[in-house]
Chain A
Amino acid sequence: MITILQNLFQPIVLLSTLAGVVMGIAFGAMPGLTSTMGVCLLMPLTFGMDAAPGMLMLIGIFCGALYGGSITACLINTPGTPSAAATVLDGYPMTLKGEAGRALGISTVSSFGGGIISGIVMILIAQRLAMLSLSFSAPETFSLAFFGLSIIASISGKNLVKGLMAGCMGILLSMIGIDNITAFSRFNFGSVFLMKGLSFIPVLVGLFALSQCFITCEELYVERPQAKKTRNPIPSKKDLRIIIPTIIRGGITGTFIGIIPGAGGDISAFISYDMERRFSKHPELFGTGLPEGIAAPESSNNGTTGGALIPLLTLGIPGDANTAIMLGALQMHNMTPGPSLFLTRLTDVHTIFAGFMLANVFVLTLGLLGQNMFVKIVSIPKRILVPVIMVMCAIGSYSINNNFYDVLVMFIAGVVGYFLTKGGFPLSPIVLALILGQMCEGNFRRSLVMSQGSYKIFFTRPICAAFILLGTAAIVWPLIKGIRGYIKRRKGITA
């Protein structure tokens, strides 16, 4: 224990973790720049370091970016990373009420809480949980995506039909490009750029950030809500009492989803938001700036960090793009992940565990310290803020593949997003469907290849059957409730 603390509290270890978190927050907050990009860029830098500080820098970026995305999501209705797409649902309405500080405080504490919970789970039962990632194959991933699609109802806002229409649009968009099972080109009109489908980030940035810029242009001369300066950045006792149970649920959900290969913070944030709304006493108030609506996605997406590290360290299986790069960094330092890692390099592993907790503490401190500074973004005059955001949208989209075509996609998505918002269509279902569409379709067909055409594969595997049942229940239950209500009312009339 003492050696671990000694390892951890070396200036170089502390400094590299802190630097990672700061850079992660910056990368997360910029629309278009993601944690994966940050981890990629800094990986060569860690080659010169020792194993522990190098890994902790990358972990710091990972944790920081998942938090950073929520800053712009709350303040300017623009998710900085895909994982923060669910945070805009309640974060921005709270800012519109003039409570930007409160929204950020809740998101900071929730991110911290989610990260810490996943860290505890990782430290206590990592080796036992790791096998879960192996039992997740194509049918299970399909069923998870299927369950995820049922969430569209939860995030549709007032108009369910328009939400479903938006969801279908997202699924259609996800079908562009070569299909992964037969290599057939779909809807690419002979263009090289559409060959592998739309890049996700430009669509996200266009739909949320650019369309919001257009809408703001209309309101340039309208009074805007001024953010109250908060003396105490920590959420009030009343808020804390509401969000702590949410954070615990979100953190645990996030950890489990993080373990699953191929599912990350974006999906888990939506699932936690949906769960919170379903089990809430006042589901109709979600989307108007509820503290739970911010706490659920934020605790959940930071929960995936610890979850994703579990299969990475114990089995050498990366759960997402970030951990895939970390796998390379681990090998670079001669730490081959797997069961043997816990025997041969136990001190390093424990230092990484302890450093993971520390990274989350840094997220909390930096978030709370920086809060009053972040909130100032809201008070920047719109005629200055809007052009700056527009430029950032273009740079962010371009930098993903160094490709001007992505900027064009972003621009088109922005124009479409503007008109959809004007028409009262919610944008989140498009994003959710775009994330899940390919995952759902690809894995459905892959399962059928595995089973050689038999649909039995979806019902004979327990995890898969359970998710399909949950998804079906989520779709059918509101219908039954509606019909029962209708019958009751009819009875009331006849009686």
Chain B
Amino acid sequence: MKKRLLLLVAAAAISMMAGTVMAEEELTPIDNYPAKSLQITVPPSAGGGTDVLIRAMTPKMEEYLGVPITVVNKSGGGCAIGFAAGAEDPNDGSCITAGVAELLGLPYTTSFEYTYHDFEPICNFNSCYGTICVPKSAPYDTIEDFVAYMQENPGVRFANSGIGGPWHILAAEFAEDIGAEVVHVPCDGGGPAATACAGGNVEAVNVSDAEVKTYVDSDLLKMLLTFSPERLEGYPDVPTALEKGYVGADVVVFRGFIGPKGMPQEAIDAVDAATRYALADPGVQEFMANNMYTNNYMNAEDFLKMMDDMDKVIADQCEKLGLS
């Protein structure tokens, strides 16, 4: 117990020093997890990005915690069903929920009564960032040209992955920042939005890098800007919003773990450590690299701060868009 405490203190110290960079300490599996088993509720659709990544991580997390983990898909209702179930789960450490970005938008766009304040943040393990892409044949090659075009021509059409979703909010925030009037075209997911743009039916699409990758690689779209904190690995020539001084880096599609309110701190710390243990595994790392999942580990404190920041943007933009 003492050893574990020391370890946790060390981990906390290192992660504080290194910010969001993953702590490089040795983690040894524990045998005193406060519950007999752990159930992970996954609100996004079965077989989707969140589900697949969590299923890839669970064997290692199981190894660390020493208790069996079951992944339960409770999809539907735009993640509302899963979150509602997760908030009502017993808070003895036997249940956690996959905390994804949809949780923040739901209370604004629908009558959903739970917010991220009804959960205990545990940690974040992966984030996707927005990008701005235009059709390959478009006349502008740099983001500056496109921004100038948008400012001169009101009514440029932006396809997004769904009404009130993170990418819709991001496009609205970006347009407000550069002072352009744009039309938001909500599509049924990131893929259809990218297809609409590749076919030249809209002027631009802003969805995640993973969603546009195949389109950019097969020369249907060109990427002008990314909202990631650093340049994307596969596209070193694409500038980031931070470099160019645009807003929008605060809207991300995050994936993390959250627990029911009142979950014991001991269990929170153990799940957090188990996540780090899984992320440090070479097999999991290879899986993540092959599937374009970036490791964006954040501890509970940073995770909560990120959600707080993003929540403010969503509240602001939802009101301006007339969604709330």
Selected from A43, A47, A185, the residue in CB contact (under 8 A) with B110 is A185
Task: Name B279-324 residues within 8 Å CB distance of A.
Answer: 287, 290-292, 323
Q: A20: CB under 8 A from chain B?
A: no
B-contacting 9-mer, from A2-10, A356-364, A445-453: A445-453
**Cβ-defined contact, B77 with A449, below 8 A:** no
Question: A470 → chain B, closest Cβ, in Å?
Answer: 22
Q: Shortest beta-carbon distance, A202 to chain B, in Å?
A: 11
* 23 cross-chain CB contacts under 8 A: A134-B198, A137-B201, A178-B110, A180-B188, A182-B323, A183-B110, A193-B77, A196-B76, A261-B195, A315-B214, A317-B198, A324-B191, A327-B214, A328-B291, A334-B290, A336-B218, A337-B214, A401-B73, A401-B81, A403-B74, A449-B183, A450-B183, A450-B201
CB-based contact A401/B214 at 8 Å? no
Query: B34 in the interface, Cβ–Cβ < 8 Å?
Result: no
**Given contacts A183-B164, A339-B219, is CB(A450)–CB(B199) below 8 Å?**
no
- CB < 8 Å: which of B47, B112, B195 contacts A40? B47
Which of A182, A185, A403, A452 is close to B76, meaning CB atoms less than 8 Å apart?
A403
- Pairwise interchain contact A337-B163, C-beta atoms closer than 8 A: no
B127 CB-CB contact with A under 8 Å: no
Query: What are the 8 tightest A-B residue pairs by CB atom distance, in nearest-first order?
Result: A338-B218, A316-B214, A40-B47, A137-B201, A134-B199, A195-B77, A183-B163, A183-B109
A280 close to B (CB within 8 Å): no
Q: Mark B203-219, 1 if CB is under 8 A from A, else 0.
A: 00000000001110111
Q: Which of B78, B110, B188, B199 contacts A136 (CB 8 A)?
A: B199
Which residues of B have CB within 8 Å of A384? none
A181–B111 CB distance below 8 A: no
Q: Is A472 an interface residue (CB 8 A)?
A: no
Size of the chain B interface, CB-CB below 8 angstroms: 51
Interface check B134, CB cutoff 8 A: no
Please state if B191 and A446 are interface contacts (CB–CB under 8 Å): no
The chain B residue sitting closest to A316, CB to CB, is: B214
Question: Quick check: B84 and A402 within 8 Å, CB to CB?
Answer: no
Q: How far is the CA of A405 from the CA of B214 in the complex (A)?
A: 37
**Are B188 and A442 within 8 A (Cβ)?**
yes
User: A195's contact among B74, B78, B186, B219, by CB below 8 Å, is which?
Assistant: B78
- For A138, the chain B residues whose CB sits under 8 A away are 185, 196, 201
Cross-chain contact B199 with A190 (CB below 8 angstroms): no
Q: Is B15 an interface position by the 8 A CB rule? A: no
A47 to B84, CA, bound (A): 33
- CA of A22 to CA of B53 in the docked complex: distance in angstroms? 28
Q: In this complex, which of B47, B74, B84, B213 has the most chain A Cβ atoms within 10 angstroms of its Cβ?
A: B47
| Contact present for A331 and B112 (CB under 8 Å) | no
A403 touches B218 (CB 8 A): no
Instruction: Give the distance in Å from the alpha carbon of A193 to the alpha carbon of B111 in the complex.
Output: 12
Q: Is the CB of A262 within 8 A of B188?
A: yes
Question: Is there a chain A Cβ closer than 8 Å to B46's Cβ?
Answer: yes
Of the candidates A334, A405, A452, which one forms a contact with B155 in the assembled complex, judged by CB atoms under 8 Å apart?
A: A452
B201 close to A178 (CB less than 8 A) = no
Contact of A315 among B75, B164, B218 (CB under 8 A): B218
- Which of B72, B184, B196 contacts A137 (CB under 8 A)? B196
Most chain B Cβ neighbours within 10 Å, of A137, A340, A406, A446: A137
Q: Is B251 an interface residue (CB 8 A)?
A: no
Give the contacts of B156-202 with A (CB-CB under 8 A). Answer: 157, 162-164, 183-188, 191-192, 195-196, 198-202
